[in-house]
Structure 1
Amino acid sequence: MVMPAAADTDPPDYLTVMKAQEMWKVADGSGITVAVVDSGFREVPGVPSESVLSGVSVMSPPAEQPDKKYPAHDDVDGHGTSMTAAIVGDGTGGAPKGLAPGAKVMPVRTSLGTTMGFAAGAEGAKGIRYAADNGAKIINLSWGDYFAFEQIKSAVQYAQSKGALVFAAMGNEGEGNNANNLTAMIPGVIGVGAIDEKGMPLMLSSYGPDTDLSAYGSKARIRCTDNKGWCVRDGGTSYATALASASAALIWSAHLDWTANQVARVLIETAGAPLDGSKRTDRLGYGVTRPRMMLLEKAGNPGAPDVDPLAPAPVKAPAPSADPTAAAPRRAKSAGGESGDVPWEWPALGAVVAVGICLGIAVLVKRRRR
């Protein structure tokens, strides 16, 4: 149910739980640019114009108007504007207060939320490259696309080579077929799930072996339908991803000399671990983002600047057998039925645009970090 944002429909104050006011005395995101590759940004009450850069539109023009240009500061859907507000909003006019108010958001507009949304994947890949080339330290992808996966993967790897940290929403299909966003399985990408007001996994949040972190994604202030006013409704993994990106901005702004790997490592080490005592779960990943642990408690070890914290530990080769008759290990049979085939399938599913734009894809075997 969509409700107008008002005093009697306020969402839970997750910023108080996160101790945002205390954190902002140490770091507020200043010096960090977060690229929101999404549906664009519209200047609305509650989002300071000085917090949003000029950005770029990578929307493809219609065939009958090949020279048509689209402004980056426009958003017919409201999704990109909502993600921007979650990061740098000022809390006025019904908008949320952003978690990293000192950061700058670079809007990168794609066709998400329009009738040309099928082109958003390829456009998003271009947008990721633009963001990496123009100073974005963090790239927020609160959407997913299957058909342009190879282009997105190549663009993400390019951005990582430029030193950017990439966050991707897991998707909002947890109550249905649990289809996950394929982008989250790209090595080095932080896959983000959503939690509710009680810190439990949000039922609609997609989950799986590519969930790395979680953040609040339940009732939040986001743009109403057609980007008209602020409403309170579930933000899903889209909103959670924006908060994870903002958390990274806070940590990075306190340590501008750190690399993306070091910021990611501290986020993972200081996350609120699953309550069952597990190191990680498919629902929550390594836990809920808690930037206050580093900023206020000085917890977390940044570690090596050039080592992906999510890369699997090297496997020590077994000592050669002294028995010359020992059998050679059998090769595992892949899902394709023949030795050596790729061990999973990617059902051909399109991108879904909702409060959080998610991708339908079933990953059978996790092939993770570099």
Structure 2
Amino acid sequence: MTNMKTYRKLVFCLLFGGFLAFLPMAHASADNSRYFVKSTKGFWKNALGVRHNFDNGFTTDASDFQLRLAKVFGVEIEPVAILQILPGEPTVTSDTDSDSKISPAFSSDDSDIVSPKISAPKSIKGKGGTIRYLPSDQTPWGIETIYANSAIETTSGGLGINVAILDTGILVSHPDLARRITQCKDFSNFRYPVVDGKCDDKNGHGTHVAGIIAADAGADGKGLYGVAPQANLFAYKVCGTNGSCYADDIATALRMAADEGAKVVNMSFGSDQESSLIRDAVDYAFSKGSLLVAAAGNDGPFPDSIDYPAAYASVVAVGAINQTKSVTDWSSRGINSTTTPWIVENRDVELATPGEYIESTWNNKGYAILSGTSMASPFVVGLAAKYWQSSASASISDQLLATRDYLHFLANDLLPLGDDDASGFGLPQVK
């Protein structure tokens, strides 16, 4: 009798598992809901399908019906958090459309953060008759501010330092970025969890961030310069064209960046809500010696408006300043005034850098101006790459901490004086 019960149970499980496994195919294209299944059992992985594996479970794009059936068997399931990229609308600078704003590419709540219109830039004919767009300024005001030099013509630094950019992808053919990209991966593809060699940017945000960090003016020297033009870039696409980013894709990319030797990681996205998947990945990357930098958010000027993952003490949270070196009203604030001065704690803003009307590379091989803390964060990343504290005798963790301390050393206090909610240690500049 016992053998018969066992047999029936086995048959039911096999049929049930086969039934569940049949459904995801029709579901994936119709509904992009993502779930975290808190089980490591192979049965549920086979039945529901696995997108990403984690220590305490896996994520899946299974249907609601499948998940309801799984819950009947006591499996704990929760939705995967969705984060957003953080700037407002861009002004694209190209000969064909100098004043158009591509708002559909952005789904941020901060639509009031817009860019000024600028005149069409000059362009020249490159090899083979191709059009080479030129920036309005090879070293825009943000670079002048970071380098503390209004007459600067070129930048330098970052040689041999790997920088991972978790974003909407990067236009790898942009003349100012083509020589900098050493890895290109897509974590946002709905069909495959990771696609190597593919990181196309149909949004523009990631390409813009990359230029701030490491644009090298191109082989012809006529393009735009970033903070650290000799750095190596890992283009990790974790966000879709609409600017939405699943937490499990971010977490997987963050872990891979650390494993692949990224010294610095930029995260110009955020959410009001914490994600355990990202929190665990942040802890992992930090333990591997990666310096993590993130946009504070665009929800200011309200106290304690900082977004995750910037709100973690192990992440450098960056606010935005304008050309008068004042923190913008929309830049998110931390709780520095209620925590220990000059000690980075959870929900503290750590630094503030240029984030308003920032010109950088765009996904049409030209340039665009954006505003947001998304633009401020990469300035800090570039400085970290430029001044990475390498030492043969120091552990990777010690190098990380020394580099972070050096960023504090480079910082000049901003008003209001002290470790304030808006700018923390202040504005870091080249010395």
Both structures adopt the same fold (TM-score exceeding 0.5)? yes
Aligned to 1:246: 382
Report the equivalent of 1:30.
159
Give the aligned partner of residue 277 of structure 2: 151
AA matched with 2:314: G
More strand by share: 2
User: How far, CA to CA, are the matches of 1:9 and 1:250 in structure 2?
Assistant: 25
Of 222, 227, 231, 2:360 maps to 222
TM-score (norm 1): 0.68
* Unaligned ranges ≥5, structure 2: 1-115, 123-134, 336-347
Shift of 1:53: 1.1
Residue by residue over 1:291-338, the C-alpha shift from the partner in whole angstroms, topping out at 9 and shown as x without a partner, is: x23xxxxxxxxxxxxxxxxxxxxxxxxxxxxxxxxxxxxxxxxxxxxx
Number of residues paired by the alignment? Answer: 284
Residue 69 to residue 249, structure 1, CA distance change in 2 (3 Å) = closer
Q: Kindly indicate whether residue 317 of structure 2 is the aligned counterpart of residue 191 of structure 1.
A: yes
Contact 1:4 1:232 (8 Å CA) reproduced: no
> Quick one: distance in 1 between partners of 2:315 and 2:361?
27
Q: CA deviation at 1:134?
A: 0.2
1:174 pairs with one of 277, 285, 300: 300
Q: Give CA-to-partner distance per residue, 1:108-141, whole Å, 9 cap, x none.
A: 1113333xx5453221111100100001010100
Q: For 1:6, which of 109, 121, 144 is the aligned residue?
A: 121
CA contact (8 A) 1:79 1:223 kept: no
1:271 aligns with 2:411: yes
Q: Is 1:19 the counterpart of 2:147 in the alignment? A: yes
Q: Distance in 2 between matches of 1:119 and 1:27?
A: 32
Deviation at 1:171, TM superposition (A): 1.1
What is aligned with 1:287? Answer: 426
SS in 1 for 2:143: helix
Residue type at the aligned position of 1:34: V
Q: Structure 1 residues 230, 255: CA separation in 2 closer, same or farther (over 3 Å shift)? A: farther
Larger relative contact order (CA 8 Å, sep ≥ 6): 1
Kindly tell me: are residues 76 and 109 of structure 1, through their superposed partners in 2, closer, same or farther at Cα, counting changes over 3 Å? same
For residue 147 of structure 1, report the CA deviation from its aligned partner: 5.7
Amino acid in the other structure paired with 1:136: A
1:102 is aligned to 230
Amino acid at match of 1:219: Y
Q: Cα gap change, 1:24/1:132 in structure 2, threshold over 3 Å: closer, same or farther?
A: farther
Distance 1:53 1:285, change over 3 A: same
Instruction: Pick closer, same or farther for the CA change 1:188–1:47 going to 2, 3 Å.
Output: same
TM-score, structure 2 normalization: 0.59
- Taking the aligned partners of 1:56 and 1:161, their CA distance within structure 2 comes to 23
Deviation at 1:143, TM superposition (A): 0.6
Partner residue in 1 for 2:187? 58
**Alpha carbon RMSD of aligned pairs, Å?**
3.3
Q: How far off its partner does 1:94 sit?
A: 8.3
Q: Aligned-pair distance for 1:26?
A: 11
The sequence identity of aligned pairs, in percent, is 27
Check if 1:112 corresponds to 2:223.
no
SS of the equivalent of 2:427 reads coil
- Given the superposition, is the C-alpha separation of residues 91 and 170 from structure 1 closer, same or farther in structure 2, using an over 3 Å criterion? same
**1-structure distance, mates of 2:367, 2:153:** 26
For residues 74 and 66 of structure 1, what CA distance do their matches in structure 2 show? Answer: 15
CA contact (8 A) 1:170 1:192 kept: yes
Question: Which consecutive unaligned segments of at least 5 residues does structure 1 have?
Answer: 294-370
Greater radius of gyration (CA): 2
| Residue 233 of structure 1, CA deviation | 2.7
What is the CA-CA distance between 1:95 and the residue it aligns to?
5.3
- For residues 304 and 368 of structure 2, what CA distance do their matches in structure 1 show? 24
